[in-house]
Amino acid sequence: MTLSPTLFMYIGRQFLIWFLAVLFSMIAVVILIDAVELIRRSATKADVSTAVITSMALLRAPYLAQEIIPFAAMFGSLLTYFQLTKNHELVVIRSTGVSVWQFMLPSLLVVVFIGIAKVTLLNPLSSVLLSQFEEMEGQHITGRSSLLAVSSSGIWLRQAYDQEGQAVIHAQSIEADELKLREVIVFLLEEKDKFIGRLDAKSATLAEGRWEFSEVWLTGPEKAGEFLQTHSLKTDLTPEKIQDSFASPETVSFWSLPRFIRILEETGFAATSHRLQLHALLAEPILLIAMVMIAASFSMRLSRRGSTSLLIAAGVMTAFILFIFTNLVHAIGLGGAVPVILAAWTPAGVSLLAGVALLLHLEDG
């Protein structure tokens, strides 16, 4: 027997209501915790007002919602099927010959749409807002601003070379291991970004406290060009500062990630973390399906025994194990021990297999 459209909509609606209730409850708690942490970090900053803290916490909210959605799907499923079983609704449904796969179908379809919406809509929004958060964080808390940008035209760096001067550095590519730039152009600026000179070099290597240029042309306003075999420019940049200012994968939209990865690799940077982020996003709908399956197997089994505390404990423990396992596998992938694609898809794949196995055991039992 198949589910009637009315029953199909009823189960789907119940799941969506519980999912949204859990999601917004968790978001509220996490935003509050995040705001408290921001207050602690900014305690020594006199210019950081309550309005700034509130704005920063709200800017991070969509990103935090992304992280919470898999757990909201799990707990929403736990509560949905627990309630249906507690009210004997599932008993009546099963007595008509409906299998576990059939009455789970509404929840699975809803969670697939949630996963697609998360990847295609929420992720682009959160990436933009998270970039604004990191900018405010650098301005008000850490004191570090973005130094590096990568685009199809190459690499752009901005640095100070004395108390009043700024240098904007452009390079076609980079040898990331030793931070050696190729085909370099440097624009020298004074206060208020007044142009005072330009360097054109074949290459530039980052040494301690300076850039070392080779085969350099020095030009400037009302100044004849001068060729030098080597030239140096003071810098306060270090490999760590450049790496810290690099755009994190979370601040790049899902739609922009493939192009961003291509540009990174063309300019000489490693794109491992961004490639991992892309495949983790693609695997998100499968992970959400697995969460629903695992939660359903727990809620229907435990609620039959009348143990709500065991149900909650099982959900919390499963969520914790999944969180640790996902971070561990992703860390192994970032370290290069396993292929990035395998590291990104393993948590979703293993969770899906576990959910299917649990449901098969439940159905047979």
- On the question of pLDDT at 190 being above 90, the answer is no
Q: For the chain, give the mean pLDDT.
A: 86
- How many angstroms separate the Cα of 317 from the Cα of each of 75, 303, 311, 329, 357? 12, 17, 10, 18, 18
Question: What string of H, E and C letters represents the secondary structure of 68-101?
Answer: HHHHHHHHHHHHHHHHHHHCCHHHHHHHCCCCHH
Q: In whole angstroms, what is the distance from residue 101 CA to residue 122 CA?
A: 29
What DSSP letter does each residue of 335-352 carry, written as one string?
TTSS-HHHHHHHHHHHHH
Model confidence at 305: pLDDT above 60: no
Q: Is 348 exposed, middle or buried (0-12, 13-18, 19+ CB in 10 A)?
A: buried
Average confidence (pLDDT) over 70-88: 88
Mean pLDDT of 174-179: 76
Per-residue tokens: 223: 């100044």
Q: Is the pLDDT of residue 303 over 70?
A: no
Query: The pTM is what?
Result: 0.83
pLDDT of res. 283? 96
Higher pLDDT, 100 or 34: 34
Q: Is the pLDDT of residue 241 over 80?
A: no
Region 69-73 average pLDDT: 93
Cα-Cα-Cα-Cα torsion 141, 276, 264, 136, nearest 10 degrees, comes to -20
Instruction: Band the pLDDT of 307: cuts 50, 70, 90.
Output: low
Q: Are the beta carbons of 288 and 112 closer than 8 angstroms? A: yes
**Mean pLDDT, range 204-217, rounded to an integer:** 91
pLDDT value, residue 50: 87
pLDDT digits (tens, 9 = 90+) for 144-170: 655 677 777 788 888 877 777 888 999
Place of tokens 């968790």: 26
Residue-level length of the chain = 365
Q: Is the pLDDT of residue 140 over 90?
A: no
**Residue 71 near residue 26, CB atoms below 8 Å:** yes
Residue recorded with tokens 């992280």:
67
Q: What angle do CA 198, 204, 207 make, to 5 degrees?
A: 120
pLDDT at 143: 66
Residue 306 reports pLDDT greater than 70: no
Lowest mean pLDDT among 125-129, 204-208, 295-299, 343-347: 295-299
3-class SS at 123? Answer: helix
Is residue 346 over pLDDT 80?
yes
pLDDT score at 106: 92
Lowest mean pLDDT among 116-120, 162-166, 299-303, 352-356: 299-303
183: number of CA atoms within 13 Å, CB side? Answer: 8
Mean pLDDT within 330-342 = 91
Residue 200's DSSP bridge partners are: 185, 217
Averaged over 247-273, what is the pLDDT?
86
The radius of gyration of the chain from alpha carbons, rounded to an integer in Å, stands at 27
Q: Over 192-243, what HEC string results? A: HHEEEEEEEEEEEEEECCEEEEEEEEEEECCEEEEEEEEEEEECCCCHHHHH
Instruction: Provide, rounded to the nearest whole percent, the portion of the chain with pLDDT above 70.
Output: 92
168: burial class by Cβ within 10 Å (0-12, 13-18, 19+)?
middle
pLDDT at 194 over 90: no
Structural tokens at position 65: 């919602």
DSSP H helical ranges for the chain: 5-41, 50-86, 89-95, 100-117, 123-137, 239-244, 257-267, 272-282, 284-304, 308-334, 340-364
Q: How far is CA 182 from CA 173, 206, 322, in A?
A: 5, 12, 44
User: Phi and psi (nearest 5°) for 217?
Assistant: -110, 125
Residue range 13-65, pLDDT digits in tens: 999 999 999 999 999 999 999 999 999 988 888 778 888 899 999 999 999 99
Quick one: what percent of the chain has pLDDT higher than 90? Answer: 46
